[in-house]
Chain A
Amino acid sequence: MALRKVKGNLERMFDKNLTDLVRGIRNNKETESKYISQCMEEIKTELRQDNLAVKANAVAKLTYLQMLGYDISWAGFNIIEVMSSPKFTYKRIGYLSASQCFHQDTEVLMLTTNMIRKDLNSHNMYDSGTALTGLACFISGDLARDLANDVMTLLTSTKPYLRKKAVLLLYKVFLKFPEALRPAFPRLKEKLEDPDPGVQSAAVNVICELARKNPKNYLSLAPVFFKLMTSSTNNWMLIKIIKLFGALTPLEPRLGKKLIEPLTNLIHSTSAMSLLYECINTVIAVLISISSGMPNHNASIQLCVQKLRILIEDSDQNLKYLGLLAMSKILKTHPKSVQAHKDLVLQCLDDKDESIRLRALDLLYGMVTKKTVMEIVRRLMTHMDRAEGTMYRDELLQKIILICSQNNFQYITNFEWYVSVLVELCRMEGTQHGGLIASQLMDVAIRVVAVREFTVGQMALLLDNAHVIVGPAAARSSIAEVLYAAAWICGEFSQLLANPKATLESMVRGKVVSLPGHIQAIYVHNMLKLYAHIIATAEEEDDSEMIEEVTNLLLERLPVFVSSGDLEVQERASCIVHIVTYVQKCHKHGDKVGADLALLMTGELNPVAPKAQKKVPLPDGLDLDAWINDPPSESEEEEDDALEKEIFVKADSSYKHRKEKYEPSEEELQKLRDARRAEQASNPYYVKSSALSSPRPNHNSIQVDEIPVTAIDLNVSLKIPGMTSLDKYQVVDGWQDGGKKRHKKQKKRSKRKGQVSSSSEEEINRMHVVNTDIGEMPEGAHLSDDYEIDDRPEDDPHRALDINLDEPLSPNEVLPTRTHYEAHAQRKIESNNEAKLIPSEIPLKMKTRNKKERKEKKEKTKKVKKEEKKVKKKPSRDANLILDLIDPLKETVISDKVPVAANHINGIADAKNKEKTSDDLDFWLSKELSQTPESCMDGTTKTASPSTPSSSKDDSKSKKTKTKKEKKAKKEKDRDKPEKKLKKNEKEIDTLSRNRDEYEETNGTVTQEVEEKLAVPEPQPYSRLLAEDSHIRIVYSTAAMDGVMSEILVCIKFISQSSKPISKLQLILPDSSALKMIRTDPQSELVNLPWSLDPGESKETQLSFTAEDVTIPHKLRGSLSYIQDGSSSSSDISLRLEFPVTTFLSGKTASRATFTDLLSSGQLSARSSFTLPNCPWSFPEVLEELTLGGSLAVVECVDQTASLYGRSLHGHHVCLLVKYQASHHLTIDGKSTEGILLSNALDHLKTTLMQKQ
């Protein structure tokens, strides 16, 4: 026994390891599969052994063989065994193998749940990491549900490595288990502000991907991403965010407007090509979404196009390719800007790189105009000649047709030219697009009545030269399809043929039988049409010789088709043979049947809308399976059939050519007919076949009166002024008889000449009227029906992720925890198993944690909801108590009584504000939009940033007048005593010059309505004057970007006061010892501003700073230089940026829960307070000042007392209690974790509040 064991171990030593396997395969090149099957056998024996090392080795080998295409799913169980090894080395082998061959439907995955959970919770970081990576590859719905909670736990891991992976895995969890999205999302969102950039980037990645598929649910995150975008320097993340914005802007045009500037700045400043490219892409998306209403976005388009041109001209083929790709996006909305670069695009057509040529082709598609279409097509045709025998050539052919046919032949002015092009294309050998050409030919022939005759002539020529087209190479191509079109057109419009008999002869010629069946069928069918036409004409002229000749011709040739292998051909041929025989019989009796025969084919042919067939309603009481007539007892002879058809045609000829599925009653028919006529009469684009163009007997004689005025016959269309067409047509007429090719070129040339002479492209009128009707539709059906369907495939998992994330969580929305199972009887066994594996207290702990989370979340969402309606409460140090006491009812009652400054009434009287829908996002979006020079006050004047949610639509008009007014008001104000404003909007300007006392008079008269409007959703940074001279005025505002980068964002706004444009603005801001700017170029103290200021214009730039010490105030000195147009020298202004400690505070994270936690925790050791016995400000004004100027957030506010909270960039907490007594007695008590910070902050607040006096 022992001996055997020793032997076994020894053998194991010589088991092949992976290297041996690889080497073996390489040494057995000839007998590879034999060698591998031998190895497979070895692996199978190895897997049967107990030793895990042996198994791991075997599994490693299997993984390699999997890459070579061998199925290894049979070893699934062994793979799991190796995965469960306690050793990292083996575990990793197992997980790798699993990630290569398992997928969500692998059955053995059921066994892995607990093992993976154990690995996820392992002490060894790399065990968890391996499990996370593996899980990302093979996660199934069950695993996602069972492990969601464990993954969530890892989000809070202390190791960034695990947090990062867990965040990414969440995306997969959401896909498989959409229910997890809502409960997990708040935590995921938190990860956007994770201190580790990798985790942050992963979170951005996941949210971007979620948002890309369901953008509307993530609109509310736009401010967060915007913040990240303006502060981050990680290009990977920026690219993702910018791409995401590209997806969001179509839903919210206001967002786009806000984005344009930072993106433009990025375009100017970045050196990373990938970032530049994505910025351009998003700017394009923005411009597409706001293509109306932004007057000056032309500059942005020009910028994009310019930058793209640089990309396209780059020698790097990749940039060239991407440049063209992006260009094609601009093309859709701003074709004019792209058309200017036609030279470049045409140049790219000659590139050696096929990808680039194809991209250029795409561009060309949108670049054509009525004026250029001929030239472009000509160039493409020459390219085709050069590109013989390649896929590219076929692509070219397709593009030519697409270019010409787009928008119902929008750019085609001369259809004869187009038909010539199509005929020319028929000569391209080996094309796969024969069907496309054919359908174009038919389309033109049907829609463009004016060139029908010309087309028919060309088709007759084609039929005559069929042998040239269907050469020896035709077998591999689909070019024979054009004969289908040719035969059909010649048959259908046989009355336009110059020589119907000759055409009939060319159709029956021997070669036809070698064509594909469906083409033969069309041939046969159209022979009948031609025959009917010839007979009818001949009878009129009493040309019995002709009749006999043609009849005999058919009777002689048709039997070939009767014996065809194709059923359709056979059926049609035998039917026609009988008809012809019947006609022959009639003629023998001397009867004239020509007219009757022609009736078989009468009726107008109209284009049918693409969805018409589907939309035909099923009439009541119709049973498609029931016999329409009684089953025929005996087969009727076909003559009778034909007669019956004639009767039917007489009754309603226009229905003849539809394949009837049911026979509507006479009433129904009449109704349908009337409806359709009414529709046609009212449709100016509908072109009736007039008597002129269709000499065929028209049985709907009534309709002749109803021919719309737009029906232009040939003579009229030729008289369009400015066209040299009459001469040209004469040339063309001659050409029809003579040599085809030579004349065609001549014609083209002459046409181009004519084009040049016409003054502008707009004046080029169509020579032919096109029936651009969408086509016939059943009554009551609309083309647009069903178009809104989600175009994602049915099983796209992202459909399930279309979940509203802004709704507050309901208590039952939690991730399933393991305790969850106990509730379900069917899960009991599983949970029992788990209980054995894991100490029972863990689930319990998790459950409580979960509950707590839930509570927190709930509170947060509650808070958000209440932002509009601020809760004010009785002052109390014991915030906990208040929390418990307050109920929603009370809140509203109390808030009704709160007095509000009267200018709020003016300020918010805007009706839009009444809409409660103006949520955070609206607020955020509108605040920047309405930023105009108004927010410029001198240093002592407090101004709130404009904050009225003004809708994007109304501002374009009102903006201009507004700025004027504001300027005026500003001047007035500068002279007047500085005043304080709480809120801004259009109307507020009117109130600017009013005395403040006036406002206060109205105190206390506030209605509830007003209170509701007093929405200060978010503390606003307020602007301070930075510098001013006679030409320019600079204001700035600061905001702490808490949690993101621990940066201070400074928004500097430049307002031109000069009558001339100001350019070359340069900021020089050297870092101080404690305050550093985040620069794109760390070496330079210069900040170049990429734009210039027009008179009256204002622009802003954003700079980010980091501070080493946030407990003391900072100052930064610098200067601005600029050049005023016209003056040769530059001017300088010195600047002094002040950063009081309140700059570093942010109240964004404030919530009642954290606030009370803080107060009760005893962390707030530092205390300080001050009193202003004679405060000149009202309580709301004080609050306003504290929240806007001091960046604090109101946590509670009751009557004249409020508690406020702020957190510094470095995590210090500051809590303030503000008490305001009737006698203008203001007391502010402060508590903080940091004494110096608190005293500095209070000092600052005190001075600002005092300044009023």
Chain B
Amino acid sequence: MKMDTLMLQEPSLYTVKAVLILDNDGERLYAKYYDDTYPSVKEQKAFEKNIFSKTHRTDSEIALLEGLTVVYKSNIDLFFYVIGSSHENELMLMAVLNCLFDSLSQMLRKNVERRALLENMEGLFLAVDEIVDGGVILESDPQQVVHRVALRGEDVPYSEQTVTQVLQSAKEQIKWSLLR
């Protein structure tokens, strides 16, 4: 009796295959793949091109493309995608997407568009890192994510110098160490 699609998958915490952000020309701004469904950059780019062409005109949130569940959201000139296998709980993938979008929205002060994102790429990297780790959903609450990323500079301990001075001395030290 051969296996068919109704056989249950092994329950697993690994639910996310990829997180992608494309601009409105379909060009990649950010891409993180958590498994080897698309091992080479060439295949990844081809996949991104495909899903972009199928999703950027409609505003439908969810589609089944290339045998994978794709949930997506767009805003002004950005397209956010979370990819999972077709066996995943679609609502879980939506939770990831919403968490990402809402966290970024807070971090960029509601200005979720390409220029603002490019200026805050490190925030994006850190945010995604807090939401999905190696394909496992790490956090689903945008407040928590924003808190952990905490870009807005809270206390800078270890020194009585002013912030600027600390940064300045750090910069100097780097320069010297690099020149060595």
Do A and B actually bind? no
Residues of A whose CB lies within 8 Å of any CB of B are: none
| Chain B residues packing against A (C-beta within 8 Å) | none
